Amino acid sequence: KNQVEQSPQSLIILEGKNCTLQCNYTVSPFSNLRWYKQDTGRGPVSLTIMTFSENTKSNGRYTATLDADTKQSSLHITASQLSDSASYICVVSVVGGSNYKLTFGKGTLLTVNP
């Protein structure tokens, strides 16, 4: 079982609509959680990063929430644009001693149609 589960796997919405993507994780000890946007064939671009003490962070039309107790995060996209079509990846960072590990979710593929 993947330690970072994202839902839905794919989502199609109309331009201008809002949407919410979900991320549940089981990795521990948790350090921080990031949301990345990845266009097809390109590198992931960081949207937000939150530590366990933060429960919301915004970046323009993107708002991420985090509930460290239930180990759930969401990414809300407001007033979607065609350029929002991409894969959105939830990444959880685990810190152990001097090392760290990033565990990637499999992403939600968002398609915004005109």
Residues that bind other proteins (CB under 8 A): 31-32, 34, 36, 41-46, 49, 89, 93, 95, 98-102, 104-107
Q: How far apart, in Å, do the first and last CA atoms of the chain sit? A: 36
Question: Which CB atom, from 85 or from 105, has the smaller least distance to other proteins?
Answer: 105
- Taking the complex as a whole, how short is the minimal distance between the CB of residue 49 and other proteins, in angstroms? 5
Residue number with CB closer to other proteins (84 or 105): 105
Nearer to other proteins, 13 or 49 (CB): 49
The sign of the CA dihedral 38, 22, 24, 57 is positive
Give the shortest CB-102-to-other proteins separation in angstroms.
6
Amino acid at 28: S
Using CA atoms, how far residue 4 sits from 23, 27, 54, in Å, is 7, 7, 19
